Chains A and B, each alone.
Chain A
């Protein structure tokens, strides 16, 4: 069974640009969550999508947005990139929303220069 796939694995962008990251959940998983991991702030929740609807949102500026498609694949977008957006962005998917935990992808390492 394929795991959670995140693309690309690495990305270098310039300040002011925008970026789109992609996440393909495990087949049958309808919930997709996104987290940002930085050395200073640790793991912080960005948002969660379930059946194409945003169900929960973390405390991030509006520059961070996401969406989910009918096949449960999800994208997150960051506009007007800042140096502080450099981070590992992790996507997690789950089937049963709480019992089985959340399976994480390997992440996308975003560097903003």
Chain B
């Protein structure tokens, strides 16, 4: 089946930029999503990118997509302690209905 991979952990200092990386295997991916999960909570949609785009910016968030390498990244500018959470990338392929394939999540820790 399709696979989505993420590194497990990232630690940054408050005010620095964070870059969370994701790789996927599905050549037919249509949309790719970034979700945030805080302790005890569900998943919050942060942003998404359509597969024919290279980049999308949304306030402090920048998503870069390299379709050739099947690599997706999420950059958080001026990272704050409130950004500490687990970040999931997810892939929706053609014909997948509304099924998303999630990566294992990257735990972001922001140190003051």
Where the two chains meet, the residues of A that have a C-beta atom closer than 8 Å to any C-beta of B are 4, 6, 31, 33, 35, 42-43, 45, 48, 50, 55-56, 58, 90, 92, 94, 97-99, 101-107
Contacts and interface: CB of A to CB of B under 8 A. Distances in A.
B42 A107 contact: yes
Given A42-B104, A101-B33, A56 B45 contact: no
Nearest to A106: B42
Nearest to B92: A98
B42 A102 contact: no
Contacts of B99: 33, 45, 48, 56, 58
Contacts of A105: 42
B42 A45 contact: no
Q: Name the prevailing secondary structure of the A interface residues.
A: strand
A43 B102 CA distance: 6
A79 to B, nearest CB: 23
A6 B30 CA distance: 28
Nearest to B96: A56
B112 interface: no
Interface residues on B, range: 20 to 34
A-B complex: 7 closest residue pairs judged by Cβ atoms: A56-B97, A43-B102, A104-B42, A104-B43, A101-B45, A106-B42, A55-B97
B65 to A, nearest CB: 16
Most buried by A among B35, B88, B98, B105: B98
24 contacts: A6-B42, A42-B103, A42-B105, A43-B88, A43-B90, A43-B105, A45-B100, A48-B97, A48-B99, A50-B97, A56-B97, A90-B42, A92-B43, A97-B98, A98-B92, A101-B31, A101-B33, A101-B45, A102-B45, A102-B98, A102-B100, A104-B35, A104-B42, A104-B43
